[in-house]
Amino acid sequence: MTTYGFIGAGNMAGAIVEGMVAAGRSAEVLVWSAHGSAAALAERTGVALAASGPDLVALADVVVLAVKPHVVPTVLAGLQEALDAARPLVVSVAAGLSTSRLESLLPDGARVVRAMPNMAAGVRESMTALATGAAASQEDLEAVAGLMSEVGSTMVLAEKDFSAFIALAGSSPAFVFTFVEALARAGVEAGIPKAQAVEIVAQAVLGSARTVQVEARRRRETGQGRTPADLVDAVCSPGGTTVAGVVAMERAGFSSALIEGARATRARDLELS
């Protein structure tokens, strides 16, 4: 059994750990953080809490760094001795930190895999990108894919594309949550209670996403599936309600706003690195 040790237990580690617990793999998880959030996560989910960072490193086969990017150098500086002794596989989910930057902060020859998950890991629907560092093997990649595929879909991605990926998947749940909140507010304006409006919009988003996936699969397999643009056309009856809404949304800059959001996210990731 592989033991996955999480350093940092905030939003992202919390989502992955909750996904692992939902997958029945809580026995493989160990957590630690500096100021009490790991203790709270362990209490909430029943996973084991390490006594200290060095203890976690000594016990884990795979150490997952889930602290903010600017905290990673300090955390690794405090763990050098333990990392050098145990030589675990190190996984980072931090935005903006390349595998080569991570390797420069670790003992020589450290095996590093970079992962970019998203918050949907908590419901086992993350979209996670993976890239290996210079010393990591195919087996190392498979160990991390084994962890992340328990909490959603995974894809191996060239590291140069991670900034774009963060815009499309790592950060995009916040774009979608903003969309849900805004559309639900429109429902409230029209007289629907907020909780009911959120439930309605969430199911509409879920169903739309599933439709895109099913059509994309059909397109791959048979060449017949519809693209997202085809699906927009399928909902827009000529002279109907939807096209009136889509035209008004585009007049207000909906597509441009999303593209600008993705560009700013990508630019910020490049800036962090």
| Residues within the interface to ligand A1CAB (CB under 6 A) | 95, 166, 170-171
The only residue of 2, 46, 68, 104 in contact with ligand NDP, by rule CB under 6 A? 68
Task: Decide if 134 contacts 109 (C-beta within 8 A).
Answer: no
Binding status of residue 271 toward ligand NDP by CB under 6 A: no
Beta strand 29-32 pairing with 62-65: unpaired
**Which positions ≥6 away from 168 have C-beta within 8 Å?**
262
Q: Is 235 annotated as a binding residue?
A: no
d(CA 124, CA 148): 9
| Residue position matching structure tokens 């979209």 | 127
Q: Which residue has the tokens 């033991």?
A: 3
Compare residues 96 and 146 and give the one whose CB is closer to ligand NDP. Answer: 96
Q: Six-digit token pair at 211?
A: 């439709």
Contact code string over 97-126 relative to ligand NDP, x by CB under 6 A: -------------------xxxx-------
**Binding flag, residue 7, ligand NDP (CB under 6 A):** yes
Residue nearer to ligand A1CAB on the CB measure, 13 or 95: 95
Between 93 and 106, name the residue whose CB sits nearer to ligand NDP.
Answer: 93
Q: β-strand 126-132 against 112-116: which pairing, if any?
A: antiparallel
State how far the Cα of 26 lies from the Cα of 17, in Å rounded to an integer: 8
Hey, what are 197's tokens? Answer: 């409006």
Residue 9 touches which of ligand NDP, ligand A1CAB, none (Cβ within 5-8 Å per kind): ligand NDP
CB atoms within 10 A of CB 160: 9
Q: Is 10 annotated in some ligand binding site?
A: yes
Which helix (H) or strand (E) segment holds residue 31: the answer is strand 29-32
The site partner of 83 among ligand A1CAB, ligand NDP, none (C-beta below 5 to 8 Å per kind) is none
- Least CB distance to ligand NDP at residue 81 (A): 16
Q: Is 107 among the annotated ligand-binding positions? A: no
Residues near ligand NDP, by CB under 6 A: 7-13, 33-38, 66-69, 71, 74-75, 93-95, 116-119, 170
Binding positions for NADP(+): 7-12, 66-69
